[in-house]
Structure 1
Amino acid sequence: MKQKKRALTAASLLLAAALTFSACSNSNSGGTNAPPSGEPTEQNDGQASAVTGPLGKYDPPIEVTTVRAVNQAFKYDEGKSIDHNIWTDIFKEQYGINVKNMWVVDESQYRQKLNISIASGDIPDFMSVNKEELLRLSEEGQLEDLTQLLEQYGSDYLKEMLNQDNGTALNAATYEGKLMGIPQMQVNGGVSTAEMIYVRADWLNNLNLPEPKTIDDIIKIATAFVKDDPDQNGKDDTYGLGLNKDLFLQHGTVKGFFNGFNAYPDMWLKDDSGKLVYGSIQPEMKAALEKLSLLYKDGVIDREFTVKDWNKLAEDVAADRLGLAYGNVSHGGFIQKTNKNNNPDAEWKVYPIVSVDGSPVNPQLSDTANNFYVVKKGANHPEAMIQLANIYLEHYYLTSYAPEPNPFISRDEGIFPGKYHPVQIDPLNVNLDAFRQVQDALAKQDGSHLGFPANVHYDRLKKYAEGDMEMWFATIVFGAEGSYSVIDYYDNNKLGLYNAFQGAATPTMSEKMASLKKFQDETFTKIIMGEASISDFDTFVDEWKKLGGDQITAEVNE
């Protein structure tokens, strides 16, 4: 029998107080027995179908449409697909919901495809949008107000998840007093979004190099990795500091490097007067860009980085060509893992990002939610998206499958059944909490008390300790010196800097920020490559302000 365990009593999932909503006379902790209008909604075929609060079953079944972005590295169980999988079966059989994907594209194409759909008015019943798209759709009256729907249909646990950051993300989804989207909270959110440094430890040993403590150490390591034959194969076939063409995305970003100079691109900061200013145009950026341009000039940065996305960079890691890059907490589990599979002698270590003078760095943190689930105005079942969120939390986090294997956890390389779900809202620090529980259990040599997901990580680490090298990916992430040890260090020392502006996109931001971002990244790339001088940074700042930056700054401060 499956045993239900509520989040409020599960130690691994205790995160924040439940979201407080005003009570209605016809509602209770489980929701209401009727749709917000008080009447059943109609399907396209004219049949009435309603649910009785969170996790109710539609009878007759309903169909809702959405659109999806998938990672090109995604794999599916044999016979399964994004349209037919473990989740779609649960939706249909247990809840009477058929989810139809109007279209599915790779993550890199999603924004473009979505904006074409928005422009044409051909949008699905629900979808994931960013802040700018949320504002645009709200202003055009294309979205349902979810305020009452969340109160009536949201489960207690869903409301708790949405209040993990004291409601900051919910405020970002509120337009003119109405909740227009459900924040897409991420499992590796909060402090877990901080960057760290991945280094080939065996290369450090080969060259008798110290572990990185300062930016100068990073430069020395990067220079030695490209010039001193770190793999000792007698060939000039290795790179220094890994960068990808997108600069601020995935493995090989420059954010962590910039943070070491007290520079914070793509986020709003408070100046000494308390005014919000944009990090990308602050003077601290200039010193970091100048250093990167010198590294590129000296051949320490791959000359072809401008044509390599992070997937190509990952191929360099896998092929023993790259041993130093900034990345996030999850990268070791699949990027460095591939290198370890190819070369069992490869050794990796993960370090906190470092500063110019060796003092602790405040890593920049991503917003609690950059994307939001929204519902099309006039959708037959506007509450269905919230029901799907309830279902995700109920089956992924609140159900114990022991002693049977958890069906949502990866069983084969690259297969993540839990990720097939179209509406995912996760506990921000569940994996950090799990890391701490696992380390305590390993010290006591007793993991019998652990719940999901800590029990999964504990079992993997035990298998690795017993010689199962297939479990190496677990130790680079959840081991005592893995990537979560860095996150633990940041959290224990209260390190980390959030965007000082958490509101919905302002009108000018919605209109011009994308083009300003493109202008910024092109300028930074040219400076790094030496196609523009470091003095051109000042010109960029002036142009950024004239092209809408000053107006956005005024609106943000207002």
Structure 2
Amino acid sequence: MNIKKVLFFSVLTFTIFVLLGCVGGSEPTHNDDGDLIVRLGNQTATNSKLPEGDTFEDNAYTRLAEELLEIEIINEFEANGEDYDRQIALTISSGELPDIMQVSVEELEELYENGYIADLSEVFDEYASDYIKELYDSYEVNPLETTSFDGGLYGLPAVVNVTPPHMIWVRQDWIDELDLDFDSDGDRLITIEELEFLAQTFIDENPGDADNPVGIPLAHWLNEPGYGGAFTMTTIASTFGAYPRNWIEDADGNVTNGSIMPETKESLALVKDWFERGILDPQFGTRSWDDIMALAVNNQTGILTGAWHMPDWGLSNVKEMNPDVVFEAYTLVDDQNQINIASQDPIGSVAVVSSDFDHPEILVELINVFYDTLKNELNLEEVYPDIYEYQVLDVDGATRPLNMEVLSSTSELDDYSFIRDAVNGDIEVNDIPDARSQTLATSIMEYQNDPENASTAAWALYHSRMKGLELGQSVTDNGNLVWINPVFFGTTPALEQYYGNLISLEEEEFIKIITGEESIDHFDTFVEMWYDQGGEEILAEIEAEIAE
């Protein structure tokens, strides 16, 4: 009888335990095959180029990670752009995190302060490959310092050495068709006057045979602090020594924001003049990113500002609709034949691990796989054929479980130099010490050898590397770049509270100035508004941070 009672209560206890686990316990941590389940907050891309049937949760990259690490990847949520930002905000407010996700530096600090994320110090030291550690060490200031708090490491940042300058991508086939005397010395360094001439000529001659041709389209946000965005006036402002949205020192050594400096007023006056003369898009201020891209696709414009890699994710759409299109990369110089550049923080998003996840080493192992193992596998086609095929198809890297890059401080130009040497026949493709660059060189040679029958992906890679990165290498070698160093990249309480509204204020007031609703002198009123609406408090806090 006592034995029966013991058995009865043992079964009852086990049943209650199982029921509680089903009702209020945690989700299963392993699948039926015994593989660890890893739940991601997945940041997707708009133009992934995934083959039919593959998804952000199930593709060549995720399948390889699952095989090598004996895990099953489940995307707890998928989102892009502002939708992703909103999803992260909801996740933080609820305190219910996926196992791994990517956040901003500001969100990282909030997660740390609330105890939501794991200290990665020990697992990084133990699991990170020597190569990954060297990548982070290659920067003048190790980016891991930014993601460390009180002696602990709470996130692994994306790091990219952004190759300047901001460029102007021009329809070279139109220049050739019109037999224009443009950039006669071939250095691809052009002046404001030359750009104006080209824009006006494209409008007047309309080589695209389009309704309502547009000279120069710019996005309504107009400014970004770095060199990776599209449709901004970054290269235009640089000719005036203007650095909008960068925290820099003024002539008196005081911290200021480039958006409120006199040089930015000068660059706005130029863009305003373009609007009045019809050189700037008449619908400036109202078009979305897709609208501007459609102008290029529909042959309404042949001038687009953007980064060196713009052919890979934007201009390739133009190629799809216009098979004979040829772009060339140019950049603007000031009256001293110089390109003024503000150096940039290499840190992008930060990958974090929930403090509730028992295997934080998985994040480090994922980074090893995608930014060491695959990058340095010289026989990629045979060892990882599915990944090789993705690279041939130019599938967006955002389809990896981590939508980020972990690159050395000189990676872009280092990779380009090997690609250039292989394309020029100075070395063999197999001599390139990087699998991805081997694939790129092969595709570029495919285009170079038979441009009429080459794929759009090969066309894009040729343009982005042999024109975009080549221009970056050229201006670096020739000493055209004049650098200034922003004094602050972080955040402060006032910056978090007010800066979003100040960005909106800037966009609204600059649109009014350019489109003629306000005069150029309204810029001075904007500066006063900027100080009054939080700017003064932000600057005081930044000064205090720097003083510390």
TM-score by length of 1: 0.81
2:347 to 353, 365, 369: 369
Point out the structure with max Rg over C-alpha.
2
Residues 388 and 423 of structure 1 are in contact (CA less than 8 Å); yes or no, is this contact kept in structure 2? no
Identify if the C-alpha distance between structure 1 residues 46 and 253 changes in structure 2 by more than 3 Å, giving closer, same or farther: closer
Letter matched to residue 491 of structure 1? T
The unaligned stretches of length 5 or more in structure 2 are 1-24, 184-188
Local SS of the residue matching 1:308: coil
Count of residues in Structure 1 that have an aligned counterpart in Structure 2: 499
The range that moved more, 413-422 or 307-316, is 413-422
Letter matched to residue 208 of structure 1? L
Q: Distance in 2 between matches of 1:208 and 1:437?
A: 34
Q: Which residue of 2 aligns with 1:303?
A: 282
1:196 to 158, 162, 167: 167
Matching of residue 506 in structure 1 with residue 488 in structure 2: no
Runs of 4 or more off by more than 6 Å in structure 1?
45-49
2:416 to 435, 442, 464: 435
CA positional deviation for 1:168: 4.3
Q: Which residue of 1 aligns with 2:540?
A: 554
Letter matched to residue 322 of structure 2? N
1:320 to 299, 314, 328: 299
CA positional deviation for 1:359: 2.1
Q: Which residue of 1 aligns with 2:476?
A: 491
**Aligned residue runs from structure 1 range 95-494, under 5 A:** 95-186=69-160, 189-190=161-162, 192=163, 194-205=165-176, 206=178, 208-211=180-183, 213-226=190-203, 228-231=204-207, 233=209, 237-248=212-223, 250-355=229-334, 357-402=335-380, 404=382, 406-409=385-388, 410=390, 415-416=395-396, 419-422=399-402, 424-428=404-408, 429-447=410-428, 448-451=430-433, 452-469=435-452, 470=454, 471-479=458-466, 482-492=467-477, 493=479
The range that moved more, 407-416 or 91-100, is 407-416
Residues 408 and 417 of structure 1 are in contact (CA less than 8 Å); yes or no, is this contact kept in structure 2? no
Local SS of the residue matching 2:79: strand
Letter matched to residue 156 of structure 2? I
1:542 to 528, 533, 538: 528
Residues 268 and 499 of structure 1 are in contact (CA less than 8 Å); yes or no, is this contact kept in structure 2? no
Q: Which residue of 1 aligns with 2:14?
A: none
Local SS of the residue matching 1:99: strand
Residues 144 and 382 of structure 1 are in contact (CA less than 8 Å); yes or no, is this contact kept in structure 2? yes
Identify if the C-alpha distance between structure 1 residues 208 and 179 changes in structure 2 by more than 3 Å, giving closer, same or farther: same
Q: Which residue of 1 aligns with 2:12?
A: none
More helix as a share of residues? 2
Residues 243 and 254 of structure 1 are in contact (CA less than 8 Å); yes or no, is this contact kept in structure 2? yes
Local SS of the residue matching 2:368: helix
Q: Distance in 1 between matches of 2:485 and 2:351?
A: 21
CA positional deviation for 1:531: 2.1
CA positional deviation for 1:112: 2.2
CA positional deviation for 1:406: 4.9
% same residue: 24
Residues 204 and 230 of structure 1 are in contact (CA less than 8 Å); yes or no, is this contact kept in structure 2? no
Residues 30 and 37 of structure 2 are in contact (CA less than 8 Å); yes or no, is this contact kept in structure 1? no
Q: Distance in 1 between matches of 2:213 and 2:135?
A: 44
Q: Distance in 1 between matches of 2:156 and 2:385?
A: 27
Instruction: Give the CA RMSD over aligned residues.
Output: 2.9
Local SS of the residue matching 1:98: strand
TM-score by length of 2: 0.83
Identify if the C-alpha distance between structure 1 residues 219 and 175 changes in structure 2 by more than 3 Å, giving closer, same or farther: farther
Q: Distance in 2 between matches of 1:273 and 1:129?
A: 36
